[in-house]
Structures are given as C-alpha cells and as structure tokens.
Structure 1
C-alpha cells in the first residue's frame, strides 16, 4: 500500500507516498523512508500518529510492532520528525567516561606542566587515594556500559557527545587541578581513609543496583516499564542515584575540596530531575486502576529529604 508520510509542517516527505506492505512492521516503514531518502537512516526517524482522544501527545510508532497494531492503512497519515545525526549510546558513554580517567591521570602525573610556577612536591596518600577512587569509578562505568547496561534506544543525537564530554572532562580537570595542586592541604589520612572505604562500598551498592535494573529489560533493551524491586529499590525509586551521590559525598569529605563539592552538587541536581521524572512516570503507569499494579510508596532519590 501507499502510505503518506508528512513532516511536522504538513509537507509530504516523499511525493506520492512510500510503498509498504499492509502486514509490515514499523521497521519496514522506516526502511521504506530510508530507501526514498538515504540521508534519513532509521535511527534519525521519529514516526507518530495523531494523539488519541483524551491525550495531547501523538502516538509514537514503536519498533517491533506491526503497522496493523496501530490500525494503519492506505488512508492513514504518518508524521515524521528528523532527529538529526545520531551516534551510539555506548560510543558516547565510552568517551564521556574515558576522558575523566585520562584527564585526571595526566594532571596527577605531570604537575611540572600543569603547575609550572610552583615547585613540584611529592604526592600525599590522600591524593593517591583520590586518584585510585576516581579511576576506579569511571573504569567501572565503562565496564558497566558494555557488560551491564541495556539501552532502550541504540542511538542519541550526536550533539550529546560534545555536551556530555564537556561536562565530564571539564569537571575532571577542575577537580583534579585543585586536589593535585602543590599547595593542596590534605586532611589527615586517618580521617580520609575510612571515607574512601565507605565510598567504595557505595560504588559496590551502585553496581548491584545497576545489575537489578538490567534484569528488568530484555537483552535487546526493549520492553515495557517494570517496578524495580529488591535491595534499596524497596525504599527508593532511584536507589542507584542515591548510592552514587553518597559515594561522591564521601569523596568530597575525604579530599576536603570545594571543587569536588561543586561537582557532586551539579550531578545531584541533574540526577534529581531524572529521578523526579522517572518516579512520576512509574506512579502514572502503575496507578492501581483497571487491574494494574499500584506503585508502592517510596522515596524518590535521597531519603529523608527527597
């Protein structure tokens, strides 16, 4: 059948429509558009239908479903949005996490170039622990990206690579600059060491949270929403964020630096936005109506404050 595909402005994307089998899938439609417009590869496409009665948002055509699931026929009209150039999630995550490891290590290892106007002094144990923890954390994130996390989408806008790397690499340089400064005054190792040990426990808890979350998705990353259960998820919707923040708070106290405090403040603010949205989404989906489960009462991210 010939299916009409229009842009958000209402202009027909492919003159005369695209050919797709009536029993085909959403992927078949995406491929048909790609054949007609080679620039618009499938991951750049967002296909929608008009909003259903009582809803303001258009219905997004999900990969893996048949066109017939949406009652699409030759008289239907599908709206197209170009998401722009895309890049793989794993690629973005690798570079945004690899950068901080490299940047921090270079500032730690090459003080004669970073602080040329200061006399180079031997590193103290707190600076060594800070390097070890920082490197461990981001190495863990890289390994989780490839071995643990399952993504619902394969790609994201390529601009995210620049934005995310700017944030992570920039803060790595900022934090490392002050912790490794020749004039840095470290807290007593007797106070710092237990804090770093606690931070490592938080990283272990964060890792287990990620394992539990990965089990909620199929290997392809597809599937509907599921109520997270087990461990700290029985009490906190975004338990993984809670553990992450606790770890960095311990790092901040262990290094006693304002730079580390600002880093975790910025990260916590962003995580709070994500956590609030996820909590609201789960409560809306699992509202207890029409035989649906009711989302249990939980803290959003950081009890007893939030």
Structure 2
C-alpha cells in the first residue's frame, strides 16, 4: 500500500481547494503504481480536476512527471509528497488539428469564388490562381484526413487556450492573408504580373506543382511510418527508419516546408513566402526538440549522422 501527500505547486488550484491531502493507492506498490494512478486518485477526490488538467512533479521540482513512470522509477518513497499544478481547461489534440486546418479550406474558396466581396469587383482567374487553389486545398484536406485516419497522439489533450494561438497561423497567415494575396487582381489572367511571363506557362506551373505534390505525398509517407511505430492506445516510441528518416529526424517537417517553398516559388507571393518562413521556423524549433529527445531516449541506438530537419545541413 502506497501513501502520497498531494500539495499545490504555487497557488491553490481552484478545482482542488482542500489541498494538501493524503491519498492511499489501494493495493498498489511503488513498483507498479504509476504517476497516472496518482492523477486518477486526485480526480476521484476532485472530479472536475480531471487527470489531463494535472501536472505532477516531485516536491520542489518543476519538471513534469510522465504518466507511465512508476513511483519507484521517479525515486518516490511511500509517505512522500508530490506537487500538483492546474494546467487549465483542456481540449483534444485531434480536435485542435481539425479546427486549425478547416480554416483555410473555407477561406480560400471564399476569396476565389466571391472576389467582389473582397476586391470590389470580379476577377478573371489565371491558370496560376486555379493551380494555387487546387494545391492549397489538397494540402489542408490531406491534413484533415491524416488527423482523422493517420495520426496517433502521444498526449490526449493540450491547454484550450492553445487552440487560438495555433489557429492563428493557419486561419490568418495560411487562410486570410494567403488567400487575399493569391486571388487578387495582381495575379489575374490579364495582369502584367502573369500575362506573357513564366507564371503563364504550363511547363513552369507543372514543374512547381509536381514538386508540391511530391512533397505532400512524401509527407504522408513519413506520417504513415510514424503511425506504424506506435500501436493504437499506447505511447510507445521507437527509432524511425526509411524514407527520409535515414537523413533527418523529422522528414515530415522537411517535406511540408518543401511544399510551401514550391508554392512560393510558383507564385512569388509575399504572403506565400511569409507563410513558408513562419512555418519553417516553427517546424525547425520542433525538429530540434524532437532530435534531442530521440538522442536522449535512444542513446547509442540512434544514428549519429542524422540531422534534425534539413538533410546534410541542420
């Protein structure tokens, strides 16, 4: 039988006003009682303070404890103390992704098919604009498909406030700003920026469209590889291999960046370049974190010559 004292980390959580409390984990031992078991026991005392809202840490330490770790593994002794912090209202990762990606799917057709609302007049769309609409919708519909049928998430939820921050990138930068620039009269059929230029040539459009589609299919392939490494309902992690993973830790980010680079080169749009650079910078940060996490978790098993995101460079 294991006894755990739970005290607040910082200010008292509003949903658990009676802290500190002492919990008894039934017939559990230090060797088989997990951090997740402690969270469940807290939730049993304070039903609205559900496990996903809780961040547990050792007394005096801010580092979050992993749900799957046993109390013995984290060095806890029966009768000891853990700190809990309220992470705030949570929302499912899958829900966040669905909300993020649906924005551009709605926004781009609105700007394309109802130009009078946004530009004050009709726009005779160029072939370039038609290709842009198709490629952008391809990307975000694919992302919605992956969210529902491909991705397996290691964490069930994230703070609810993040849905607004995450959606800004897609709804505003990749939605409103990108759509406004791509479908405006500047890139219309008889605009000097298009008519008689390379952006009016099928070979030019096909070349960059082919790179975009290659990058999208490659991105999907890497997601399928990652899915195969994690059995459903688990947080299992393994060293990924094959199709890009032999060069970088996060080829999914590399291929997504390549897709938006292709669209930027095809259009020359300032909004496309902004979306490309902003997205690539964020993905590079994530890639570095994942790269370091892989090296720390798998040690000598992890290939030393892999870069984080860009082959042979970074």
- Answer whether contact 2:34 2:67 (CA < 8 A) is retained: no
Deviations 1:151-180 (A, max 9, x none): 010000001111111221001111111110
Deviations 1:240-261 (A, max 9, x none): 1111111111111112211101
Identify the residue that residue 47 of structure 2 maps to in structure 1. 38
Q: TM-score, normalised by structure 1?
A: 0.88
Deviations 1:87-125 (A, max 9, x none): 000100001001111011111111011111xx3132111
| 1:303 Cα deviation from its structure 2 partner | 2.9
2:183 to 155, 180, 183: 180
Identify the residue that residue 305 of structure 1 maps to in structure 2. 313
Q: TM-score, normalised by structure 2?
A: 0.86
The secondary structure found in structure 2 opposite 1:21 is coil
2:267 to 241, 255, 267: 255
Identify the residue that residue 242 of structure 1 maps to in structure 2. 254
Q: Indicate how the Cα distance of structure 1 residues 246 and 18 shifts in structure 2: closer, same or farther if over 3 A, else same.
A: same
- Answer whether contact 1:50 1:58 (CA < 8 A) is retained: no
| 1:263 Cα deviation from its structure 2 partner | 0.6
Identify the residue that residue 49 of structure 1 maps to in structure 2. 58
- Answer whether contact 1:287 1:294 (CA < 8 A) is retained: yes
State how far apart, in whole Å, the 1-side matches of 2:21 and 2:249 are.
48
- Answer whether contact 1:107 1:176 (CA < 8 A) is retained: yes
- Answer whether contact 2:247 2:312 (CA < 8 A) is retained: no
1:269 to 281, 287, 312: 281
The secondary structure found in structure 2 opposite 1:302 is coil
State how far apart, in whole Å, the 1-side matches of 2:144 and 2:74 are.
38
- Give the alignment of 1:146-165 within 5 angstroms: 146-165=148-167
Any unmatched runs of 5+ in structure 1?
A: none
The secondary structure found in structure 2 opposite 1:60 is coil
State how far apart, in whole Å, the 1-side matches of 2:158 and 2:223 are.
21
Aligned residues: 294
- Give the alignment of 1:52-201 within 5 angstroms: 58=63, 60-63=65-68, 66-67=70-71, 70=74, 72-116=76-120, 119-171=121-173, 172-184=175-187, 185-186=193-194, 187-190=199-202, 191-201=204-214
State how far apart, in whole Å, the 1-side matches of 2:64 and 2:167 are.
33
Give the aligned CA root-mean-square deviation in angstroms.
Answer: 2.2
State how far apart, in whole Å, the 2-side matches of 1:196 and 1:259 are.
18
Any unmatched runs of 5+ in structure 2?
A: 188-192
